[in-house]
Amino acid sequence: MTRDSEDRYADTKLLPTEISVLKELKALLKGAEALTADSSIPVKFMREFTEDTSPIACYINNNRIVALTLRYCALPSLPTSLAQLTGLQKLDITGNQLISLPESIGNLHDLRELYADANQLTSLPSSLSNLRRLRAIHADANHLTSFPTQLCQLPRLETLRLYNNQLTVLPESIAQLTELKDFSAGHNRLTVLPESLWQLSNLRTLNIAENQLTTLSEGIGKLTQLRMLDVAHNALTTLPAALGELSNLTSFLYLSNNQLNGLPDSLFERLPHLTYLNITDNRLTTLPANIGKLASLKELRLYNNALTTLPDSIGNLTHLQELHLMNNRLTSLPESSGNLTHLTHLDLRNNRLSVLPPSLSNLNRLRYLDLRANRFAVLPSSIGNLPNLEKLDLRWNKLSAIPRWFEKLEERGCAILM
């Protein structure tokens, strides 16, 4: 026989006020058909939190509720009594049908992390400004039309995620978030950015992609702690020279899907730690010669541009593992390409190549070579000596004859597509 749910909560030694909140939440969850009639919100120890994937649970420490998870429960609202969980530090209400949060949430003075992604929120309560210990707010994929300025009063906020909303402007007061390290305002409707944004000198991650930005200020060069920058999918025609001052960029730089005709010569001067660069889907015809200074680069994506040549300095990218050059206008590759001895993927499809440099025989780690839709009549026999080649794609070329070394590659397990 199933025990009464009230007895289950009583066994936890929780405060009566917290038990009362759980009962009210239980009723809401049953109304949303997220809990069955004979079930209750599971009560677990906080040490289980990091490995637990339960969509519904509360977590206790010293007989107080410190974390509450109500994910994807179709909840239309939250009770005002939620404020009685005064020890709550983490609240996850991702994936519900909430159009607002109760003002009483501002009484959760110990709250550190709020996850409210994928709801229908059109605004956030002004009382959030009371949560002086709040470190992270996740409100991606909602319907926010204006930036909640009350958030600028949160002195300890380190993470602010507002991706996929309907924001049109950011306030000048955003500069007050001096501890902010991770800011995402991508996939909104921003056309300009406030100069005060560049005062957030502690930022490590900045996502302003998928907006309607036409320019970036030289002030971006002040964000010297940035590790990742995403400005892709905007309408940028030029980049500020100061972008090259971001010498701590280590993970990703996304510049794709803009309208760039060229890159500033200073861009690659001081980015020695960058590992991933994406400049696809622009209008580039050339690359700066100093691209070879990206000494740590592992992946370079340049497809869907109008490149006719590559600089010889490309051969200095000796840590490069993937080079994607499809859909350009290349007629040749520099001999220095053979210095890319860590390369595993080389995509050259849809260019105007008729020859390959002999030095490509040095690419002993190459696994995938895509030469589709070029102008090859013959291929160098040295390709047949690439020891790790797994796939050679030659479709939509017109080879004058089938090379004998194809058979050797196929015997070794390499797939050849013609």
Q: What's residue 4's pLDDT?
A: 44
Q: Are 395 and 370 in contact (CB under 8 A)?
A: no
What would the 3-class secondary structure string for the chain be? CCCCHHHHHHCCCCCHHHHHHHHHHHHHHHHCCCCCCCCCCCEEEHHHHHHCCCCEEEEEECCEEEEEEECCCCCCCCCHHHHHCCCCCEEECCCCCCCCCCHHHHHCCCCCEEECCCCCCCCCCHHHHHCCCCCEEECCCCCCCCCCHHHHHCCCCCEEECCCCCCCCCCHHHHHCCCCCEEECCCCCCCCCCHHHHHCCCCCEEECCCCCCCCCCHHHHHCCCCCEEECCCCCCCCCCHHHHHCCCCCCEEECCCCCCCCCCCCCCCCCCCCCEEECCCCCCCCCCHHHHHCCCCCEEECCCCCCCCCCHHHHHCCCCCEEECCCCCCCCCCHHHHHCCCCCEEECCCCCCCCCCHHHHHCCCCCEEECCCCCCCCCCHHHHHCCCCCEEECCCCCCCCCCCHHHHHHHCCCEEEC
Q: Where are the domains of the chain?
A: 1-134
CA 174/CA 387 separation, integer angstroms? 55
pLDDT in the model for residue 11: 64
List own/partner pairs for 54-62 with CB under 8 A and 24 or more apart. Answer: 56/29, 58/22, 59/90, 60/12, 60/14, 61/87
State residue 199's pLDDT score: 98
For residue 298, what are the β-bridge partners?
none
Amino acid at 198: W
Give the residue among 329, 360, 363 at the shortest CA–CA distance from 344.
363
The residue among 161, 156, 106 whose CA lies nearest residue 131 is 106
The token pair at 307 is 């490149």
Task: Please write the tens of the pLDDT for every residue from 333-384.
Answer: 999 999 999 999 999 999 999 999 999 999 999 999 999 999 999 999 999 9
- Whether the predicted model's global pTM rises above the 0.85 cut: yes
Mean pLDDT of each 10-residue bin along the chain, 418 residues long? 48 86 95 91 88 90 95 97 96 98 97 98 97 98 96 97 98 98 98 98 98 98 98 98 96 97 95 97 97 97 98 98 98 98 98 96 98 96 95 96 94 95
Q: Is 401 exposed, middle or buried (0-12, 13-18, 19+ CB in 10 A)?
A: exposed
* Euclidean distance between CA atoms 8 and 131, whole angstroms: 31
Residue owning tokens 């992390």: 113
pLDDT of residue 48: 84
* pLDDT score recorded for residue 5: 45
Rg (CA), the chain: 28
Look at residue 1 in the predicted model and tell me its pLDDT: 24
Q: What is the CATH architecture of 1-134?
A: Alpha-Beta Horseshoe (3.80)
Please list, in sequence order, all residues whose beta carbon lies within 8 angstroms of the beta carbon of residue 62, skipping any fewer than 6 positions away.
Answer: none
CB 162 within 8 A of CB 139: yes
Which backbone phi and psi does 234 adopt, to 5 degrees? -125, -155
d(CA 250, CA 231): 16
| pLDDT for the residue numbered 113 | 98
Q: Which of 135, 172, 126 is CA-nearest to residue 155? A: 135
CB 268 within 8 A of CB 245: no
Give Cβ neighbours of residue 67 (< 8 Å, ≥ 6 apart): 46, 49, 58, 59, 88, 89, 90, 91, 92
- CB crowding 371-390: b at 16 or more within 10 Å, else e: bbbbebeebbebbbebeebe
Q: Is 396 left (phi over 0), alpha (psi -120 to 50) or beta?
A: left
Taking CA 205 as the corner, what is the angle to CA 270 and CA 241, rounded to the nearest 5 degrees?
Answer: 35
Alpha carbon distance 242, 264 (integer Å): 9
